[in-house]
Amino acid sequence: MLWVDKYRPKTLDQMIVHQDIVQNLKKLVSEQDCPHLLFYGPSGSGKKTLVRALLRQMFGASAEKVKVENKTWKIDAGTRTIEIELTTLSSTHHVEMNPSDAGFQDRYIVQEIIKEMAKNRPIDTKGKKSFKVLVLNEVDKLSREAQHSLRRTMEKYSASCRLILCCNSSSKVTEAIRSRCLNIRINSPPEDEIVKVLEFTAKKEGLTLPAGFAARIAGKTNRSLRRAVLSFETCRVQQYPFSSNQAIPPMDWEEYVSEIVSETMTEQSPKMLFQVRGKLYELLINCIPAEIILKRMLYELLRKLDSELKHEVCHWAAYYEHRMRQGQKAIFHLEAFVAKFMSIYKAFLISTFA
């Protein structure tokens, strides 16, 4: 088991980071009732860990007894029947799912499946919690129609169901949903808190850390707690005992993106564009989000480009990111950005050496 899962806090008391948020969540639970919640913040900041620890605080150890189900749902959509396959993680008290996995059919998930789950009031033998919790991940990727349906579900079944929503950016969640939730911003933890987590992990594994080694890892992971723990485990696999000047390897996909950028700056041609398309496909099928690929490409370009080109490249990166969010096929927009950059860079080279 990976360390990031092995040493994930199971209760709010075990949390090392976000202590101010932890105290506020404890107060919510002590009031015996809980509003709809919206957790938002950057990837790797600890949103899902907080949500699971909150469920444990609310319902006790039974919230950890979960089962994974892969169900196929048949939904009547006017003149036809739609089959939607969805994976859910559930206990007797909650159900966790990612409705955006259904793509453009996400509105049917919200209209039928979530509604059906929200109707069923849980059997509470202790009489403390008379509601069920639905945890929905990546709410910011839901279509507008699905979000409007979700708002109606929140209003209609609030007596028997509480929603806990998770997303990276609250700006992509409609105002109607945000106004019906208690919004909780989960910032990336500061580097000193990440160092504490790495020291805790090292202690559990019986490892000796050189002075400043954990701080170096924290400084190279862009304040992503998950990435820091993964990098720490990678360093352990590559070399132990640790040395104070040991290299901290970058993520494989980051090196791959760096290769793509180097190739596009070396040659601007249809042949190179075709090769880059294949590499972008490979990143996407390995579950690297398209927005992350685009941001990393821009980061690598800005490191290598002349200052007079940086503003224009940033403009087109923002343009294609916006189009990517409106469209369905991310590869089209990634490839269009690469083609646009090739055009800009080739014109720059011609004007420079003319």
Q: What is the pLDDT along the chain (354 residues), one digit of tens a residue?
A: 788 888 888 888 888 888 888 888 888 888 767 788 999 988 888 888 998 898 888 888 888 888 888 877 777 767 778 787 878 888 888 888 888 777 777 777 777 777 776 666 655 545 556 678 888 888 888 888 888 888 888 887 777 788 889 988 888 888 988 888 889 999 888 888 898 998 898 888 888 888 888 888 888 888 888 888 888 888 888 888 888 788 888 778 888 899 999 999 888 899 999 999 999 998 888 888 888 899 999 999 998 888 888 899 999 999 998 888 777 788 899 999 999 999 998 988 888 776
C-alpha distances (whole Å) from 101 to each of 65, 98, 153, 195, 233 are 24, 6, 19, 34, 30
Burial of 113 (0-12, 13-18, 19+ CB in 10 A): buried
pLDDT attached to residue 338: 92
Which residues sit opposite 95 in a β-bridge? 90, 134
* Closest by Cα among 244, 184, 195 to 221: 195
Give the strand pairing for 94-97 and 80-90.
antiparallel
Look up the CATH number of domain 252-353: 1.20.272.10
One fold for both 3-185 and 252-353?
no
pLDDT attached to residue 335: 92
pLDDT attached to residue 124: 53
What is the CATH class of 3-185? alpha beta
Whole-number Å distance between alpha carbons of 159 and 155: 9
Residue 208's SS3 state is coil
What does the domain layout of the chain look like in residue ranges? 3-185, 191-238, 252-353
pLDDT attached to residue 340: 92
Whole-number Å distance between alpha carbons of 117 and 161: 9
Which residues sit opposite 267 in a β-bridge? none
DSSP state of 306: -
pLDDT attached to residue 129: 61
pLDDT attached to residue 333: 92
pLDDT attached to residue 208: 86
CA 56, distance to chain mean position in Å, is 22
pLDDT attached to residue 146: 83
pLDDT in tens, 182-213: 899 998 888 888 989 988 988 888 888 888 88
The answer to whether 200 and 15 are in contact (CB under 8 A) is no
pLDDT attached to residue 125: 46
pLDDT attached to residue 32: 67
- Tell me whether the omega of the peptide bond preceding residue 241 falls within 30 degrees of 0, making it cis: yes
